[in-house]
A and B are shown apart, each in its own frame.
Chain A
Amino acid sequence: MHPVRKQRLWAVVFIVVFSSLAAGLVGYGLRGNINLFFPPAEVAAGLAPAGQPIRVGGMVVVGSVERSTDSLQVRFAVTDYQATVKVEYEGILPDLFAEGEGVVAAGALDERGVLRASEVLAKHDENYMPPEVADALLKANTAGVTP
């Protein structure tokens, strides 16, 4: 074969091999690292698979947040006003997490239908509040007050 042809052939073979390796990596990387979003109603209807990574989002039900007193365990319920899903999480909740605010929890459903969350993301809702109220809010930081 002509040396130039040979060189070009090598280049093509190399690029093909390299690209298919990369494509293989992409396929492997996608497996198990993507998760689908389910609203609580679909979880309640049994549409969400148990034991697989999913995300559930909605509003944190007011009064549902229970903190353990001796560990970082926390339980709360997420609702889309049609159904609620119980969530268990161990760790530090994000700053914007609050009852009556939106959250997305990522994790897997256990056999009881409880979402074992590995990550909780709070959704952001900017409320207007003048400074004089912030002070009052600090003092009146009691249950039942939103937000």
Chain B
Amino acid sequence: MARLNLFLPLVLFVALVLLLARGLKLDPQVLPSALIDKPMPQFRLPALGADKLLSRESIIGEPVLLNVWATWCISCRVEHPWLQRLAAVGVPIVGLNYKDQEQAALDWLQQLGDPYRLTIVDAEGSLGLDLGVYGAPETYLLDAGGVVRYRHTGIFDEVVWRQRIEPLYRQMLAAAAAGG
């Protein structure tokens, strides 16, 4: 009997470990996000610097980054060189020029370089509303089927790319290669 009592701490500890193991699967920080794993909304908006209309179909087809930017956004200037470097190595980036002046946006790209494959002009912020954009910069990762897989708010830089987005992006490329 007395010997069995000595096992009591062990039993309690096993229960504790089970609880902690369960806890590892739960993330206390996670706040529900409406967008992840939902398809990119449909839109019909003009392209920047070209006389044509863009839609959802113009940007999907391969894994792509969607970068929300504006000339009034200081942080966008900060992340711009990084976008340039990423574009230079062949990562497709689509711009979403958000609540901005078209001429100012064109000047910006003229001065700083244009990392975007296409730039959607969302002067009224209607696509932004559908996407749930609350500010700039924001960066979304869409898969080949046009489903939003990741969303980053704030400055998009090398650290974010390496730690958060690149692994997902590589997976998508691998999946696309295997599938096609």
By a beta-carbon cutoff of 8 Å, the part of chain A in contact with chain B is 39, 41, 57-59, 61-62, 79-82, 99-100, 102, 123, 125, 127-130, 133, 136-137, 140, 144-147
Chain B residues 22-56 with CB under 8 Å of chain A are 29, 31-35
Interchain CB contact under 8 A, B75 and A81: no
Contact A81 to B34, CB < 8 A, known contacts A100-B135, A133-B77, A136-B74 = yes
Q: Digitize B146-180: 1 where CB-to-A-CB distance is under 8 Å, 0 elsewhere.
A: 00000001110101000000000000000000000
Given contacts A128-B157, A128-B159, whether A137 and B74 have CB atoms under 8 Å apart is yes
In the complex, chain A residues whose CB is within 8 Å of the CB of B106: none
Q: Are B134 and A128 in contact (CB under 8 A)?
A: no
Contact residues of B with A, CB < 8 Å?
29, 31-35, 72-75, 77-78, 132, 134-137, 153-155, 157, 159
Whether A80 contacts B31 in the complex (CB less than 8 A), given A99-B135, A100-B134, comes out as yes
For the complex, what is the distance from the CA of A81 to the CA of B153, rounded to whole Å? 13
**Neighbouring A residues of B75 by C-beta, 8 Å:** 127, 129, 145-147
Inter-subunit contact A81/B35 (CB<8 Å): yes
Q: List 25 A-B contacts (CB under 8 A).
A: A39-B31, A39-B32, A41-B32, A58-B31, A61-B134, A62-B134, A80-B33, A81-B34, A81-B35, A82-B32, A82-B34, A100-B153, A102-B31, A125-B153, A127-B154, A128-B155, A129-B75, A129-B155, A130-B78, A136-B74, A140-B74, A145-B75, A146-B75, A146-B136, A146-B137
Chain A residues lying within 8 Å of B132, measured Cβ to Cβ, are: 81
A81 CA to B154 CA, complexed, in Å: 16
* Complex contacts, A146 vs chain B, CB 8 Å: 73, 75, 135-137, 154
5 interchain residue pairs of minimum CB distance: A146-B135, A81-B132, A100-B135, A81-B34, A128-B157
Give CA–CA (A36, B68) in the complex, Å. Answer: 34
Q: How far is the CB of A9 from chain B (nearest CB, A)?
A: 17
For A100, A127, A130, A140, which residue has the most chain B Cβ atoms within 10 angstroms? A127
Find the A residue at minimum CB distance from B137: A146
Q: How far is the CA of A70 from the CA of B126 in the complex (A)?
A: 37
Interface centre among A130, A144, A146 (most CB of B within 10 A): A146
Chain B residue at minimum C-beta to C-beta distance from A129: B78
Q: Report whether B135 and A57 are in contact in the complex, using a CB–CB cutoff of 8 Å.
A: no
Beta-carbon contact of B72 and A145 below 8 Å: yes
